[in-house]
């Protein structure tokens, strides 16, 4: 860059003797040059300060820039990718473990055990003097944690006609009436048993069995479905069973915990719930109590540590363990 006045105006030989007025032009030119130099020095200083970007010196700033540039090298980019992949693998492992914990390795549910049946008697037979009726013999049934006397009944329940094209199955059952006595009834075609029923027979009605074609149920089949517990309530020969389904586990050696929420008629606690079989996708329990309407909450758990743990080795790279099924 050139100075405003590269050459200061010389005093000609024919000028008069030197006086202050003669030097004014030269002083102005010299001052302009000094002012230009000051501006250049200030601009250079500002530029160097900006270039240092807070570093102690320009050399320190250059070292810093060299380090930043090295961070974008291929090796560093590979390291960044490895770190990111490791983080994603760990997140996937964590999500898999949480999902497994909530859906598989620890599960909860609830079931109700209905403990009802016959102590003796209560046999159903076909009526011989009334169309499509059933008779009931006297006996003793049990429900609600206690025994009930059942009186005999002649023509006490009617079997529905089946005018359809295929056989159907209905159910004969005992129910408690408004007076507290148990009576016989038969479900309509297509209906299920009432919740408080004691099923005693399955009844198969063939196609075309009606009042006119089969008034005394000759073609109708009665299949005994009574659960007979002759020693109730002291001994249960065929205790009530309930099965629950699980989301499949790796093995059937899981832990089961039970909490009896409520029951009717007799003492019942968690010790009365006995596991009779277990599989990876479910289990079956038996009721060792005279109680009825037993509501049970259960928890199945199989907590264990993963067979592998994440390994971080900065000398050889990053390695994430495979998601492990608990």
Q: What's the start-to-end Cα distance of the chain, in Å?
A: 78
Supply the pLDDT for residue 67: 73
Supply the pLDDT for residue 37: 79
Supply the pLDDT for residue 63: 79
More reliable by pLDDT, 62 or 18? 62
The answer on pLDDT for 322 being more than 50 is no
The answer on pLDDT for 126 being more than 70 is yes
Supply the pLDDT for residue 49: 82
**What's the average model confidence in pLDDT over 248-255?**
90
The answer on pLDDT for 205 being more than 70 is yes
- Residue whose structure tokens are 């405003």: 4
Structure tokens at 280: 């990876």
Supply the pLDDT for residue 36: 80
Q: Which of 16-25, 172-181, 196-205, 236-245 has the lowest mean pLDDT?
A: 16-25
Cβ–Cβ under 8 Å, residues 103 and 325: no
Give percent of the chain with pLDDT exceeding 70. Answer: 80
Supply the pLDDT for residue 72: 67
CA 150 to chain centre: 47
pLDDT tens track for 162-188 = 999 999 999 999 999 999 999 999 999
**What's the average model confidence in pLDDT over 212-226?**
96
Query: Phi/psi zone of residue 166: left (φ > 0), alpha (ψ -120 to 50 degrees), beta?
Result: beta
DSSP strand E in the chain: where?
Answer: 106-113, 117-121, 124-126, 133-136, 139-143, 146-150, 153-158, 168-176, 182-186, 198-205, 221-224, 241-245, 255-264, 273-279, 282-287, 292-301, 311-313, 317-319
- CB-CB neighbours of 302 under 10 Å: 17
The answer on pLDDT for 323 being more than 50 is no
Supply the pLDDT for residue 32: 78
The answer on pLDDT for 315 being more than 60 is no
More reliable by pLDDT, 271 or 47? 271
Supply the pLDDT for residue 59: 82
Q: How confident is the model at residue 15 (pLDDT cuts 50, 70, 90)?
A: low
Q: How confident is the model at residue 22 (pLDDT cuts 50, 70, 90)?
A: low
Supply the pLDDT for residue 21: 58
**What's the average model confidence in pLDDT over 107-111?**
94
pLDDT tens track for 46-103 = 887 887 778 888 788 787 777 777 666 677 677 777 877 777 777 776 666 666 555 5
More reliable by pLDDT, 51 or 196? 196
The answer on pLDDT for 318 being more than 50 is no
Query: Mean pLDDT in the chain?
Result: 84
pTM score, whole prediction: 0.63
Give percent of the chain with pLDDT exceeding 90. Answer: 58
Q: What is the CA radius of gyration of the chain?
A: 49
């Amino acid at each position: 860059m050139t100075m405003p006045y590269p050459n200061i105006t010389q005093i000609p030989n024919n000028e008069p003797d030197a006086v202050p007025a003669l030097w004014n032009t030269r002083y102005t030119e010299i001052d302009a040059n000094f002012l230009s130099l000051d501006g250049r020095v200030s601009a250079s200083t500002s530029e160097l300060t900006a270039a240092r970007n807070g570093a102690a010196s320009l050399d320190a700033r250059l070292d810093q820039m060299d380090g930043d540039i090295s961070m974008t090298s291929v090796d560093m980019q590979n390291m960044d990718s490895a770190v990111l992949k490791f983080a994603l693998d760990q997140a996937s492992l964590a999500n898999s473990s949480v999902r497994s914990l909530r859906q598989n390795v620890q599960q909860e549910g609830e079931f109700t055990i209905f403990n009802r049946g016959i102590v003796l008697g209560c046999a159903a037979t076909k009526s011989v003097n009334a169309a499509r009726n059933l008779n009931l013999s006297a006996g003793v049934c049990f429900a609600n944690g206690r025994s009930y006397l059942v009186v005999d009944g002649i023509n006490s329940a009617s079997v529905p006609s089946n005018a359809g094209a295929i056989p159907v199955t209905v159910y004969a059952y005992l129910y408690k009436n408004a007076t507290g006595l148990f009576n016989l009834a038969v479900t309509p075609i297509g209906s299920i048993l009432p919740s408080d029923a004691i099923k005693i027979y399955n009844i198969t009605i063939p196609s075309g069995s009606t009042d006119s074609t089969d008034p005394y149920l000759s073609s109708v089949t009665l299949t005994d479905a009574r659960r007979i517990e002759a020693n109730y309530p002291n001994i249960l020969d065929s205790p009530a069973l309930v099965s629950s389904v699980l989301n499949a586990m790796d093995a059937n050696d899981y832990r089961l915990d039970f909490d009896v929420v409520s029951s009717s008629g007799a003492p019942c606690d968690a010790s009365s719930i006995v596991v009779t079989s277990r599989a990876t996708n479910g289990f079956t329990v038996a009721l060792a109590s005279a109680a009825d309407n037993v509501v049970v909450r259960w928890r199945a758990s199989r907590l264990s540590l993963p067979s592998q743990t994440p390994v971080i080795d900065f000398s050889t790279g990053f390695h994430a363990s495979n998601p492990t099924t608990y």
